[in-house]
Structure 1
């Protein structure tokens, strides 16, 4: 069969050779080759292979010519040296290869006429089958190369691969490391794994606000109840404004919040450098390790902390807006940590969320009353000490606790205890408390070590004022983070705590113990009584992942014990676990709580099990069973028809003294920019029915006019994308430049497409440290139109629309054919030559390496004039030089511009030998390896045509 294949390839090569080969490119059969050929060569053209070459998991070449013969596989020494960037060059006129390996002291010489080799001061005699001169190249067996070079080579003829293992760091590996370091510097120390464009959204004096409007009316028994929710968000006075109000049909205001906030995750805020967030209005104070915890009210707060990294002992509170009648569940590393339901305040809060040292994936799952479901994913890194050496960490807040900027008559009280409260303790009751001011300052004195101080003044639940001050120190010891704190108040009370956090194998733990005396009030312990001060408090959190067969089982345990001044004690232990079973996610929580008093002890056990997932491709089920003093079970079924229709059916039952059964049903029509819902319910306790209708929509100012948008537009950031064909290459739209319609834009809850003007508006992008929009440019059919990075990132702000240009550019493509010219010999293709295409300003627009046939396809070149050069480092190392610097011209309309011939001479001193290599600057759509973006291949440049041309070129002689 191999003979038949060879005959077929031979015939095809002979057919295409006259058309494909250059007139002066006859194959080489050199006089030295004839001189050393005392016997027949060990291989013929029938033995040709093309090997895929890799080193250390990195692809170096897709097609390295090699020959398989009875004596073994033969590899081209010159091309292999250029691939590995080893300073060894082949001189076919003298049947010799010379140079050095890794250092100039380690000389290398291979002389076929003398049948000897020398490497690193050691000599070898050559057998006739060890190395062969053919086609202007020296072909060597891998086992002999391994004797001379610090390499292990494994050529697999069956899989057509060549695996290279470097026994010492090779030059190409060092170059890749330098380029990686340079890229990290260019990207501010971050990895550039994904190409993306950052879209700045500066604050302005005023931007027309985005508006969310929800209006509902429901009939219950004989009463008609109406309610409205109004949310506005935009820029005001160079800050972000958020306002939320809700009221009833009688015109009464039942809830209101107003917040002016300015944030900058990079901490380069123009007003106060180093501040990452400043809030004015309805905001929250920070907490301290001993003493006050976070509380809300009207006032001011600011911080310099990193949005994506906290210390192991820092309290993390998750808060956000929650739409009417929505629920939210909190998962940390797929373990259910808490659940909240909107009860009139328009927001949710998870306080004191326990996290592990390392990366924590926080997932918030939102459930709407009509079957809506969405997720928000945040990644938060917990370090031993979040304060880096030489940096300051500042947190400050001062509020009129419990009071809002806008007063309202119906002040909802706190929810009280909940089985899945993250902190597993009662919340503070709402209502005015007076001034609460808290400040915290920390400084990194050494790597992993910091000093801190705090000061606070606040009122307790009966109105008494407490003034407290504290100091602390944190350090990393043997892979564990440790923190010690001391505090005292103005009443003679004192407190001390010690905490340790870290990992033991696959187990992550956080332990903390605190001692109190003199009536010191600590709001951040495991359990808080209203009046009685604590004596001591201990907490332990343990998280790990077990194996349930092949299925991972994340589990978590949190135990806290508090002793009070009167002698009572309180123990609380909560265990949680989650796992997947087929299409379902199962989560469970068990809590044991015990009160030990002087006379007796009282303990109780409660628990919860949830399951959610898909029954089939249409129905989603969510079931919950919880038991405490009473037991409750709920089941809901959701089904969607496309993007426009959603149905929800719900059933719940409560056992115990207030037994009741509830049935619910709702249907929502999601129109383009409007959600219309019909809902109804029946209660078995009193036999009453409830039926109602709800309308929800939004308005967003897109820079030119207000446009209707899906609900939720004012709760998060938005982006308007403008895609166009950038004719002049300046990245900005000019009159007359054609729009790019039909491009998919993915972000938020829905996928949009650019319209006839090339514009698309995406809302609902959240309010985190970063958000991203992904552009799908598959609708662009022109292979010579290149796109910028498809991922657009920005810092989202509620109600603010980021303007993002997406300039497509017409590009050109050229084929560069490199041939080696030597005196007395016809030119021949030269592979593994690193070429650079340089623009008029001297910047590297594209670079790459010639293939087995000496050709390099360079695409993604913007219109303009370029010149070609050999990579200065390779030119200096191997003594390669171009006879001239060929010019390349890409016309304004782009497209394939033809072939460019480049003549290279070997063994002479390079004119670029003294030129320091410039850092490569890849062109748009061109990566650092020189690979062109995916496009429709030109017929004359396809791999098959090039291979046949190379075969014909080789066989013609």
Structure 2
């Protein structure tokens, strides 16, 4: 008998004795030790059956850029008819009122007008000039209005896969993010160096950019927390500015949704804190950019991009950082840029990052050679449930692209920010921010102070993700403002719903606008998508669309009916397809492939054992391969080939051969797992040679004073010719042993030397075996072991 109290202590269980039926009630918070062990073994067995997809074991096969290769192309064609009222004469201000107040003082005439339009969007990615080429093209034909526009971007990248080593980018690029100097500026230029763009120079924020076709929706998650979303309107590019960072690993998941129901994801990692660089490591990068320009003629870059200070001016610079220890990093930046004052400004910046225990410190000083100084200091407290950031900035007669650099802007003198991230309150991720700005007098703009506060809660439960925020702003000479927002996302297999509500609480309570996007999946081939936007201020208007989407294997089409309260009804249609050339033939797909990599795998019986598919080898159809961390399944065709698209670009993606899909249990692949490392649009050729395995078997007997008898539990080892143990087996009670599924090759078979010594046996010479090739049959080796003076024979 065991006292119940002692049993509770031993197993750390909540146990209640029920005397009426002689039963023990055990709390569900923690299982028995044996139950935990059974659950672990169940997980291990499941992991083994699914092929250990998350394992990084296996050789890495990378793609070398070619001089010229067929690209992967995403193409979307669209056409529309817009029926509504259009003004036929320009608005005229009434003469004599003494001012142009921006309002029509007479009624301009309008009449029903039918407008037709056509457009196409193209994204292409592939090898060009031994680098990775990316082309973006947008064309809009104004139809009956006679206004057409075209915007093109061409970029070449040559970076070592995995983000390390020297690399360069040229063409239509984004300049690096330099805190207090410049955000990511778009233009024509070149950037080169070995600095990993994912290693941020700013502890507090970052910018996330990428490419997708116009009309796609983009969501950003950090560690499964929904941060923001947007819809791509122009230039086939999305950009999220001022994304807040937290200490440790910031794993951003960027999810893109196409208007015809497509979906793709990409990951971006940014590490804040200790060991961003190892001791002695250094990184550098140089760049030069002509802002707001396009490489190819005929592009309307300014209309597509965002306007910055001194457009078309040259911005050039370099940045360097070195880790003096695993906790201390120093950096030096230099930049030259033209501002709206008509001068070219030259900057030098020195910055330091240091971590002490659970604290992270950053300091930065920037000197404008022709002007003033900017100073920044930041400290972060690193914690698992709470982290705190305090950031102070001061500007003395300082102007840059990011700060005070645009004409007629406010002159910022000081900025103080406090941010608190916590999950300690009922387990809810919470972010609270306080900010104070002080502006100096600048022309007709008076000096003033601005105070702002913001708090945001997010929660994920079941199929719902929700985020609630409230922001307050107080500015000298203006009324206090309090705004709020609610972001709600609901995703199930047949329904995707995203809604955003914006409202004002002060000075007057008012609902500002509502945005709702919903997609219903009726079948794998049919979806219905609707959008609704209602604005309640600044000329209240309503917009709604309803789209029917048809999905085939090679294309996706949609028909859309829309309504705009200011312009009337619209009717549109679009067609999307993604083209990829594999094995000398074009393949079309309804899924986007321009930002992902692909693998073309071949599985075959390697009869000659050389690891390459040759004339005497046999392709294996019907073999299953799983690709990517999601384990997407593909099956080989009669030629033993399978295409594995939509793999992560720039990072190793596992490809696993499912062994139980092989016909013969004695077939053994040389590599069960391989990893694909390729850039966007690249296809890597993989080979999975399969060998016909053999058996090595026999019987072990021992001879001593009592005679000869079977020897059980004798350990036998199959080693390489150099002595490395490949397999080990023990003989059964009747002396028999079997090495099954032995891959052909040259081996040595021996008795375990440690057991020979322990059992007082005479050492025996290993047996050389040549398995496979012309001698593909099994090998039988019997052993007679003698004690002391007797020599073993086999």
Shorter-chain TM-score bucket reads 0.7 to 0.9
**Which secondary structure does the structure 1 equivalent of 2:363 belong to?**
strand
Question: In structure 1, what is the equivalent of residue 329 of structure 2?
Answer: 450
The residue that corresponds to 1:622 in the other structure is: 498
Three-state SS of the structure 2 residue aligned to 1:199 is strand
Q: Which residue matches 1:654?
A: 535
1:774-800 CA distance string (max 9 Å, x none): 444543221111234444323332222
Whether the 8 Å contact between 1:212 and 1:714 is mirrored in structure 2 is: yes
Q: Please give the alpha-carbon distance, in whole angstroms, between the structure 1 residues aligned to 2:127 and 2:418.
A: 44
Instruction: Could you tell me which runs of 5 or more consecutive residues in structure 2 were left unpaired when the two chains were aligned.
Output: 1-31, 39-52, 84-113, 442-446, 505-509
Report the CA distance between 1:457 and its aligned residue.
Answer: 0.9
Residue 888 of structure 1 and its aligned partner are, at CA, apart by 4.9
Aligned to 2:68: 206
What's the counterpart of residue 134 of structure 2?
242
Q: Which residue of 2 aligns with 1:220?
A: 82
Specify whether residues 736 and 570 from structure 1 end up closer, same or farther in structure 2 by C-alpha distance, changes over 3 A only: farther
Match for residue 863 of structure 1?
744
Contact 1:810 1:892 (8 Å CA) reproduced: no
Instruction: Determine the structure 2 residue equivalent to 1:260.
Output: 156
| Cross-structure match for 1:780 | 662
Cα deviation for residue 467 of structure 1 reads 1.2
Task: State yes or no: 1:544 paired with 2:422.
Answer: yes
Aligned to 1:320: 210
Match of 1:612 in 2: 490
* Farther off after superposition, 241-250 or 402-411: 402-411
Cα 1:382–1:681 shift into 2, 3 Å: same
Cα distance between partner residues in 2 of 1:494 and 1:314: 21
**Rounded Cα–Cα distance in structure 2 between residues aligned with 1:492 and 1:636:** 49
Match runs of 1:744-763 below 5 Å: 744-747=624-627, 751-763=633-645
Question: What residue number does 2:171 align with?
Answer: 281
Q: Does 1:477 align with 2:356?
A: yes
Match of 1:918 in 2: none
Work out which of the residue numbers 267, 271, 274 in structure 2 matches 1:381: 271
Say yes or no: does 1:496 pair with 2:375. yes
CA displacement at 1:453 relative to structure 2? 1.1
Residues 522 and 724 of structure 1: CA distance in aligned 2, closer, same or farther (over 3 Å): same
**Separation (CA, whole Å) in 2 of partners of 1:543 and 1:905:** 73
State how far apart, in whole Å, the 1-side matches of 2:183 and 2:275 are. Answer: 20
> Secondary structure in 1 aligned to 2:63?
coil
Which residue of 693, 699, 705 maps to 2:573?
A: 693
Give the total of aligned pairs.
700
Counterpart-to-counterpart distance in 2, 1:818 and 1:480? 65
Measured against aligned partners, the alpha-carbon deviations of 1:333-389 in whole angstroms (never above 9, x if no partner) come to 122222221111101112343222222221112222233333333444333352322
Given candidates 675, 678, 681, the residue that maps to 2:556 is: 675
Note the C-alpha offset of 1:331. Answer: 1.1
Q: Distance in 1 between matches of 2:194 and 2:732?
A: 52
Q: Structure 1 unaligned segments of length 5 or more: list them.
A: 1-155, 163-190, 269-273, 416-426, 912-957
Residues 309-708 of structure 1: pairs in structure 2 closer than 5 A: 310=200, 313=203, 316-384=206-274, 386-408=276-298, 410-411=300-301, 413=303, 429=308, 432-461=311-340, 463-521=342-400, 523=402, 531-546=409-424, 548=426, 552-566=427-441, 567-594=447-474, 596-597=475-476, 599-600=477-478, 602-614=480-492, 617-627=493-503, 631-683=512-564, 685-686=565-566, 688-708=568-588
TM-score w.r.t. length of structure 2: 0.79
Measured in 1, the distance between the counterparts of 2:685 and 2:703 equals 54
RMSD: 3.8
Classify 1:411/1:887 alpha carbon distance in 2 versus 1 (closer, same or farther; 3 Å): closer
Q: Name the structure 2 match of 1:811.
A: 693
Match of residue 109 from structure 2: none
Which string of whole-angstrom CA distances, capped at 9 and with x for unpartnered residues, describes residues 135-159 of structure 1?
A: xxxxxxxxxxxxxxxxxxxxx9x99
Q: Matched residue of 2:183: which SS?
A: coil
User: Secondary structure, in 3 states, of the residue corresponding to 2:350?
Assistant: strand
In 2 relative to 1, CA 580–267 (structure 1 residues): closer, same or farther, beyond 3 Å?
closer
The answer as to whether partners of 2:375 and 2:394 remain within 8 angstroms in 1 is yes
Q: Is the 8 A contact 2:521 2:528 kept in 1?
A: yes
Would the aligned equivalents of 1:811 and 1:894 in 2 still touch at CA under 8 Å? Answer: no
SS in 1 for 2:215: coil
| Superposed displacement of residue 228, structure 1 | 0.7
Contact 1:206-1:237 at 8 Å conserved across structures: yes
Query: What SS does the aligned partner of 1:353 have?
Result: strand
CA distance in 2: counterparts of 1:860 and 1:430, whole angstroms: 69
- For 1:910 and 1:661, the matched residues in 2 are separated by 97
**Is the Cα–Cα contact under 8 Å of residues 622 and 635 in structure 1 kept in the other structure?**
yes
In structure 2, the CA distance between the partners of 1:850 and 1:241, relative to structure 1 (3 Å rule), is farther
If you compute each CA radius of gyration, which structure gives the higher value, 1 or 2? 1
CA apart distance, 1:330: 0.7
